[in-house]
Structure 1
């Protein structure tokens, strides 16, 4: 049998190696920026065209390379940073494997211009598919400029797997952010299609955070600093109020290298325990410095995952450092040993303040029925009208000067006349008898506080919660609401009209709507129910691309960070399909002209759009839903949460109707229950002796 094992050709071996290092244009950006940092540059410029597919160029003013070094940098495993095995355990630079330029040159057209400071001329090298096409002396500034053109030009299959320009640009911005945050002492700039996206002067880390992530972080940063003989932790964390639904703005750096670590993230969250709203994530940018011998960074081709020699100690110090920072900035609960607990208000109670009484003048007067009679109610109404303050309502944010005396309510002329007429009528003979006789006619017709449940829909229109068994006849009556335990959802085939008890009405308690049914009591979380209704409505809107919008009386300009603006461009078509109407208006700015019809009128357009864009900034590699699905879920959740806290009769009736018209009325898109059932037996058991 002949030998069958052979060495791969050089160009093929390079392409295989490139598959590990160069996955997309962002991979090229990462490698070139890290090489520029290692070269000691103080100014680094990144230029991209067509989201890096056409061009990725990095220009730095670093140390530069000689002609020989420039040629050797294109060879595999060529590096200036490792000489012996011991060097592997004291690495403090970013690029050290010597695979970056060789891998990039295997799948792109590369041009290198470099010059040493002490030399008069530089070197130019042109490479295509690992083959050096030209090498010659050239005039060049100090430092190095590397241009990567037509990425994957010789591997069409790889190029076809690249995403849209908006998606690829978002990944490039992520890599740019990581390097720019790790080196705030270096000036960075980014140009996309000849337009400046970032211009970051050298400065403090806090300034770099605000420049990259937006002015919203200016007042939300808390300093973290903990130095021990084993490890030091420095950086910033966000206040609990700035926590977001996504984990986009979370950064760990170990010895200056960006990493991802679920273990360290858990340590930070443990320090925030009890301070964060449910299902939110804090901001942090934290730098860990420790002996390189205590970590292994050579466990992943992209070097974003590392191993710690003593993970437990790192976890404990990280948690303690964050917790201390929260305490120093008065963001963590503390004990006051000087207060007298015997005179402290009970839990859930508060003492009245002067502002409480001042606000009563602005509040709507309460109609107290003094004697439960006609004349008592009329007198209270007249007194309430007379007590109307003759001054404009006090603004909620305006504070009353300390020396200002409370204003005494003055009756208006109309109220004074009403009082005189009322007392004059009482002085006439038989006035009280006349009032009592007229009372039944004068009383307005009572309006029920809760609605009557809707009539049962036709059997063929009822939408079951769960698939009905195939052997059940279509004309068979729907079963009642059987339950297995107190929090069981509605059973298959049930509908509100069939289960409702005629003549009984729903009532709202906090955010829950209580609906009597034949078998007991149905409890509906109206916020979760509204989320399910809106979600299915938005799904239909996206499928039919027939949305309705409410036009703003005055268009509003909204500015975003460059990263968010790129994401906005990526999902523009879906947002417009939902009913958003906006146009670009300068760099990273849009003009909002309309919002979806269901969005509350007083919504903050910037907060709403930023909330929708948050989920698209998740770390790369995490499984995500379809883009339209994500938008429908996010918008439904935010609009539902911003709805009215109290529902009117018609609103409760419509809510029940629309909920049971949904395909899956029992759950929100995220799996939270919208309703539960309590059987009569379970209610009786609550009062059993």
Structure 2
């Protein structure tokens, strides 16, 4: 067939296939236009899930009469005028495709009154044929009505889901957009019934109300507030504690310069930050805002504008990972009292030391067996660290250890440790303790596992990493870009115990590896690491595999069930927990302790009722 110029109507319908997937896509584009117009109140009214009718009204600055017809032309926009504008975008929309694409597959009507104009004007389009503009009645702002979506493309209409499913997509979209702009009021109605009325305002109460509506009433209570800045990067928002997790990734909201995005690099950085503390098969929850110089991020990489590209992906990845990782490290009881806490005792001076192989105590690797696949040499290398962390240490807390009791006077409450003092042990599994709030229950194995693991990591990072030379070097075939990644990250590989050589444009040789990874599939590990570095600018796969081995060793080296502990030993474990990072959960993400305050205990026994 000869090459022909496509008709404008067909061009618009093809474009609509990229921009308008379903009613929620229409709502997204029109709400973003309203935000760009400076609206502070946006009303969204949909019928039959948006299939029959979508009406969006805003109080923004409106569109002048002279620009109404141009607004429905392809690639016509007021938001960019040059390449410089495109490279430093702060507006939500900018392509100039949304309105003409929507108008080409619906019965479209737009009424707008520009600020300062005496009257409003209306323009309509049915299947792309434009009528108007002509005078109309309307306050300052804009109303867009989209009726009978896909009426002229029935094949695409058949791909739509039920009314309820399409409405729920719109509802989820509005909730997500509303989290990006706390200062804007969003009202959503479906089939004439008001569903959501999120009042705008920049107060903490209103922000928390809006977050609670989306993430659940207890999200804020179980979240850590983050605010970190490095150069042109600033990250703020809330990350849920690892114990408050989800079965699905349905409470994950990330915004870049107020634009909601779903980005692989961002997702990878957040997963890496949670990898040491989250229960397997569960997902973290977060509401996070990244502010970045718009010249350092390209939002023009996908028609729906959900994906972005960073100029320095490694910098952004490491900043997000480091900010969240640092915040999660403080997930331990008493972290808020850190400024009041006494300095850690000098463990080298502690007198009472026991291990599992000798008459009591709550730790020691002496009776443990390395996990399958862990070389004996690797085990020996870190055994000292595990033993040091598992030795029983006493703390200078006075008579409370030998005869645990809480001070009676309220003024003495500040002297009570966050986990209080041990009272008993239940079935050789749980420690029962009393603090100023009520009852504490501790899973002694899970708690000691985390303590042991963290001490092993400290030892690992403090000492020079031992490596071993391979008798037979391993040759690895990789891409040219991955060879370049080895060259640019050579020092990093050496710090982790690897010696890699370049054999050719697409070939490497592994000469030395960390002793701990002697039984690992090093060839595939290096391939995976290089693949991640090329894609994301960095990788934590090596550290993750080393941590996994240490985690297994810590599990085997921790106090086991049915181990009877003395009151002194139990109190020493509680004090260790209060001074150990991430001690709210074990290495596998399970909680290590729980609190039942007096109100909860009273409720159990109907006291005061």
TM range (shorter): 0.5 to 0.7
What CA distance in whole angstroms lies between the structure 2 residues aligned with 1:92 and 1:131? 32
Alignment partner, residue 157 of structure 1: 155
Alignment partner, residue 45 of structure 1: 43
Q: 1:337 to 1:267 in 2, by over 3 A?
A: farther
Q: Does 1:30 align with 2:28?
A: yes
Q: Pairwise mapping of residues 6-21 of structure 1 onto structure 2 (< 5 A)?
A: 6-21=4-19
What CA distance in whole angstroms lies between the structure 1 residues aligned with 2:329 and 2:63? 49
Q: Pairwise mapping of residues 111-190 of structure 1 onto structure 2 (< 5 A)?
A: 111-190=109-188
CA contact (8 A) 1:74 1:101 kept: yes
SS at match of 2:243: helix
SS at match of 2:66: helix
1:496-547 deviations in Å (ceiling 9; x for gaps): xxxxxxxxxxxxxxxxxxxxxxxxxxxxxxxxxxxxxxxxxxxxxxxxxxxx
What CA distance in whole angstroms lies between the structure 1 residues aligned with 2:144 and 2:275? 47
In structure 1, runs of 5+ residues without a counterpart are 364-395, 402-689
1:471-503 deviations in Å (ceiling 9; x for gaps): xxxxxxxxxxxxxxxxxxxxxxxxxxxxxxxxx
Q: 1:397 to 1:33 in 2, by over 3 A?
A: same
Given candidates 66, 69, 72, the residue that maps to 1:68 is 66
Q: 1:357 to 1:319 in 2, by over 3 A?
A: closer
Alignment partner, residue 59 of structure 1: 57
What CA distance in whole angstroms lies between the structure 2 residues aligned with 1:27 and 1:336? 56
Q: Does 1:226 align with 2:242?
A: no
| CA deviation after TM superposition for structure 1 residue 266, in Å | 2.0
SS at match of 1:196: strand
What CA distance in whole angstroms lies between the structure 1 residues aligned with 2:176 and 2:297? 20
Q: Does 1:346 align with 2:352?
A: no
SS at match of 1:268: helix
State the TM-score, normalizing by the size of structure 2. 0.56
What CA distance in whole angstroms lies between the structure 2 residues aligned with 1:143 and 1:357? 67
CA contact (8 A) 2:68 2:133 kept: no
| CA deviation after TM superposition for structure 1 residue 82, in Å | 1.1
What CA distance in whole angstroms lies between the structure 2 residues aligned with 1:96 and 1:154? 26
| CA deviation after TM superposition for structure 1 residue 81, in Å | 1.0
Q: Pairwise mapping of residues 288-687 of structure 1 onto structure 2 (< 5 A)?
A: 288-327=290-329, 330=332, 338-339=344-345, 341=347, 342=350, 343=352, 346-347=362-363
Q: 1:4 to 1:357 in 2, by over 3 A?
A: closer
| CA deviation after TM superposition for structure 1 residue 178, in Å | 2.3
Given candidates 96, 101, 111, the residue that maps to 1:98 is 96
1:226-270 deviations in Å (ceiling 9; x for gaps): 112131111111111211121111112111111112221221222
Alignment partner, residue 496 of structure 2: none
CA contact (8 A) 1:252 1:259 kept: yes
SS at match of 1:198: strand
Alignment partner, residue 595 of structure 1: none
1:433-452 deviations in Å (ceiling 9; x for gaps): xxxxxxxxxxxxxxxxxxxx
| CA deviation after TM superposition for structure 1 residue 134, in Å | 4.1
| CA deviation after TM superposition for structure 1 residue 357, in Å | 6.2
State the TM-score, normalizing by the size of structure 1. 0.50
1:260-298 deviations in Å (ceiling 9; x for gaps): 122212212222232211211111111111122211111
Q: 1:332 to 1:108 in 2, by over 3 A?
A: farther
CA contact (8 A) 2:107 2:125 kept: yes
| CA deviation after TM superposition for structure 1 residue 183, in Å | 0.8
SS at match of 1:6: coil
What CA distance in whole angstroms lies between the structure 1 residues aligned with 2:18 and 2:300? 13
SS at match of 2:146: strand
| CA deviation after TM superposition for structure 1 residue 326, in Å | 2.5
CA contact (8 A) 1:49 1:56 kept: yes
Alignment partner, residue 260 of structure 1: 262
Alignment partner, residue 79 of structure 2: 81
Q: Which has the higher contact order (CA 8 A, sep 6+)?
A: 2
What CA distance in whole angstroms lies between the structure 2 residues aligned with 1:192 and 1:71? 30
| CA deviation after TM superposition for structure 1 residue 148, in Å | 0.5
What CA distance in whole angstroms lies between the structure 1 residues aligned with 2:437 and 2:95? 64
Q: 1:358 to 1:249 in 2, by over 3 A?
A: closer
| CA deviation after TM superposition for structure 1 residue 337, in Å | 5.2
CA contact (8 A) 1:107 1:129 kept: yes
1:129-175 deviations in Å (ceiling 9; x for gaps): 11113431011011001011110011111111111122212221232
SS at match of 1:216: coil
What CA distance in whole angstroms lies between the structure 2 residues aligned with 1:20 and 1:399? 57
Alignment partner, residue 387 of structure 1: none
Q: 1:252 to 1:400 in 2, by over 3 A?
A: closer
1:85-128 deviations in Å (ceiling 9; x for gaps): 21110111010011000000000011111112212210111210
1:636-688 deviations in Å (ceiling 9; x for gaps): xxxxxxxxxxxxxxxxxxxxxxxxxxxxxxxxxxxxxxxxxxxxxxxxxxxxx
Root-mean-square deviation (Å)? 3.2
SS at match of 2:221: coil
Alignment partner, residue 192 of structure 2: 194
SS at match of 1:7: coil
CA contact (8 A) 2:188 2:196 kept: yes
SS at match of 1:215: coil
What CA distance in whole angstroms lies between the structure 2 residues aligned with 1:232 and 1:159? 42
In the alignment of these two chains, the number of paired residues is: 368
Tell me which structure has the larger Cα radius of gyration: 1
What CA distance in whole angstroms lies between the structure 1 residues aligned with 2:231 and 2:28? 32
Q: 1:47 to 1:320 in 2, by over 3 A?
A: same
What CA distance in whole angstroms lies between the structure 1 residues aligned with 2:346 and 2:2? 87
SS at match of 2:210: helix
In structure 2, runs of 5+ residues without a counterpart are 354-360, 364-389, 394-400, 406-420, 428-433, 440-609
CA contact (8 A) 2:228 2:236 kept: yes
Q: 1:336 to 1:164 in 2, by over 3 A?
A: farther
Alignment partner, residue 469 of structure 2: none
